[in-house]
Amino acid sequence: MTSSLLRSEDGEPENAPDEHALLLGVLSTLVESLGQALPATSELLLHDLSKLPNSIVAIHGDVTHREVGDPATDLLLAAAARGDFQTRIGYETKLADGRQMKSSTVIVRDSHGDAVAAVCVNSDQSVWVELNRLAGRMLAPQDSASGPRVDERASEVSEEIFASDVDELALHLIEKATAMSGIPIELMRKKHKIEIVRELSNGGFFMLKGAADKAASALQVSRFTIYNYLNEISDADEAAAGDEEETA
């Protein structure tokens, strides 16, 4: 009895379900079912990495107040720009309103090793931080002048932007890049603006819709000038790569 599946030139069934679609379908189901097992202070969400920047395709919980169709964080966007998706477990982050969170990002890959999706868990730690503070005060010796010891590492958190739309994410990325220069826009020279454009590019900013216009407005130049800066950056990087090959 012969198989009814038609085979492509590489031997794969032509009518076999798309692997990425299968993975995303299974993961979407898991987000809903496993999300119900998490406490109300946690959220579970799924990013379809082929849809960046607006990559959220499933979410359960409301810690970061995002919805399906909202954008990825700046860290995930930067990873996409580098082509270097990595799983990160239990890193600390902070929301714009000051709430402390613990987050994990698991990268899901297909059978070829290509990154397909990111499954993320964000847990609001504010309640536990406050309980820990109160417990420390209750358990500290009454005659202790210094009070309970504080682990300084607890204040080390990743800067991650949980934007609810692309415009908000773009604004944060621009503010972050311009703040790093330490120079007011009005006093910037061309070299300063090129470095800001480089920083934005490295962070995946130009994957966002209307990015060139937003950068041009922020840097007080034309969109054509932004494209020129990007070309100069690309040429400089290619030249640097060539010099490294010659010296290797």
pLDDT at res. 95: 84
pLDDT at res. 3: 33
Which residues are CB-contacts of 161 (< 8 A; sequence separation ≥ 6)? 73, 74, 75, 169, 172, 173
- Structure tokens of 173? 């990325």
Residue ranges of the chain with pLDDT lower than 50?
A: 1-8, 12-16, 144-155
Torsion 207-213-219-224 (CA) sign: positive
> How far apart (Å, rounded) are the C-alpha atoms in residues 62 and 40?
8
pLDDT at res. 160: 83
**Helices (H), strands (E): how many in the chain?**
7, 5
> How far apart (Å, rounded) are the C-alpha atoms in residues 83 and 231?
20
CA gyration radius, the chain: 23
Long-range contacts of 163-166 (CB under 8 A, 24+ apart): 163/70, 163/71, 163/73, 163/74, 164/65, 164/66, 164/67, 164/70, 165/70, 165/71, 166/53, 166/54, 166/71, 166/208, 166/209
List pLDDT tens digits, range 39-97.
Answer: 889 999 999 999 999 999 999 999 999 999 999 999 999 999 999 999 999 999 888 88
On whether the CB atoms of residues 106 and 85 are closer than 8 A, the answer is no
pLDDT at res. 164: 87
pLDDT at res. 100: 86
Helix or strand run (H / E) with residue 122: strand 115-124
pTM score of the predicted model: 0.76
- Say which DSSP state 142 is in: T
